[in-house]
Amino acid sequence: MIRTVKLGTSDLEAPALAVGCMRINGVDKKTAEGFVKTALDLGANYFDHADCYANGECESIFAEVIGMSSAVREKIFLQSKCGIVPGKMFDFSKKHILEAADGILKRLKTDYLDVLLLHRPDALVEPEEVAEAFDELSSKGKVRNFGVSNQDPNLILLLAQYVKQPIIVNQLQLSITNATMITQTMNMNMLDDMALVRDNGVLNFCRLHRITIQPWSPFQYGFFEGAFLGSSKFPKLNAKIDEIAKKYQVANTTIAFAWLLRHPAKFQPVTGTINAGRLKDCVKATEITLTREEWYEIFLAAGHRMP
């Protein structure tokens, strides 16, 4: 049975991973149908979208291959994001949020979203407008919960001064190799780059305020530079992951995912694969709890430091 997590302060008891649909437009319909069916069979029924993924095409494809109906809708969680106007700007205006939400609902062939996230920070955000948009979407039953993506504590606090609905999710880049939100707290007060605070302490902020962190790109290093699994750039890390994977008789993907799930913040990582086999490996991670020693062995093998 797939492990579950409670999202923020909401009543949502959801799978401990979200199925990212950003790449669903990159496969044929038959493959997409098989992938979605596999996810549902595994109990991985929390699907993550964004209106900018292939300019909305990913949402339309998903609705088609899942055969969206009222009966299907009752069995799944749907999350999407808005606020990015690709190549032009970020837009958190009331007008844009409302129009984007309507477009998302139309493409997904549903009357409501379980969660809507503001995608990336908008430098020109007017929190009063965000609050008005959230109120309208909530009162009309179009969106049941709200969250943010890639936002630091102060921006979340600013929004909270105006928005009535709780922010239940913050989607942030996090993987074994991209773990500054974890490493900084361990290296505080040190005189080198590992002590630099790059996110205003977002990890502990989210824990204190009961905001669920959804790690994205859980297998990537850098900013979409590639996967660390199997990469010659990370020989020690891969050797350690492979060693632990052999012990548990699972794939390396499973151990890399289990590393995130072991953290007591109760992350809900977002998968990025459209490969049914790799999705099975990710789901398998919810059945494994790495020991403290194993977690730190992987941490150190990635090149992180214990001062």
* Fold of the 4-301 domain: TIM Barrel (3.20.20)
* C-beta of residue 148 within 8 angstroms of C-beta of residue 159: yes
> pLDDT for 136-194, tens place per residue?
999 999 999 999 999 999 999 999 999 999 999 999 999 999 999 999 988 888 888 88
Phi, psi of 82 (to 5 degrees): -145, 165
pLDDT (0 to 100) of residue 189: 83
Q: Which residues contact 73 (CB under 8 A, 6 or more apart)?
A: 110, 111
Enter the tokens of residue 36: 């979605």
Q: Please state, in angstroms and as integers, the Cα–Cα distance from residue 13 to each residue in 4, 9, 74, 208, 282, following that order.
A: 6, 11, 14, 19, 19
Q: Hunting for tokens 């504590």 — which residue is that? A: 153
pLDDT (0 to 100) of residue 59: 98
More confident residue, 202 or 194: 202
Cα–Cα distance for residue pair 2/163, rounded to 1 Å = 33
3-state secondary structure the chain: CCCEEECCCCCCEEECCEEECCCHHHCCHHHHHHHHHHHHHHCCCEEECCCCHHHHHHHHHHHHHHCCCHHHHCCCEEEEEECEECCCEECCCHHHHHHHHHHHHHHHCCCCECEEEEECCCCCCCHHHHHHHHHHHHHCCCECCEEEECCCHHHHHHHHCCCCCCEEEEEEECCCCCCHHHHHHHCCCCCCHHHCCCCCCHHHHHHHCCCEEEEECCCEECCCCEECCCCCCCHHHHHHHHHHHHHHCCCHHHHHHHHHHCCCCCCCCEECCCCHHHHHHHHHHHHCCCCHHHHHHHHHHCCCCCC
Enter the tokens of residue 231: 């990469």
pLDDT (0 to 100) of residue 160: 96
Quick one: which of 232, 236, 233, 217 has its CA closest to 179? 217
> pLDDT for 72-118, tens place per residue?
999 999 999 999 999 999 999 999 999 999 999 999 999 999 999 99
Cα–Cα distance for residue pair 118/103, rounded to 1 Å = 15
> pLDDT for 208-240, tens place per residue?
999 999 999 999 998 878 999 999 999 999 999
Predicted TM-score (pTM) of the model is 0.96
CB atoms within 10 A of CB 197: 12
Phi, psi of 261 (to 5 degrees): -70, -20
Cα–Cα distance for residue pair 290/300, rounded to 1 Å = 15
Cα–Cα distance for residue pair 267/286, rounded to 1 Å = 11
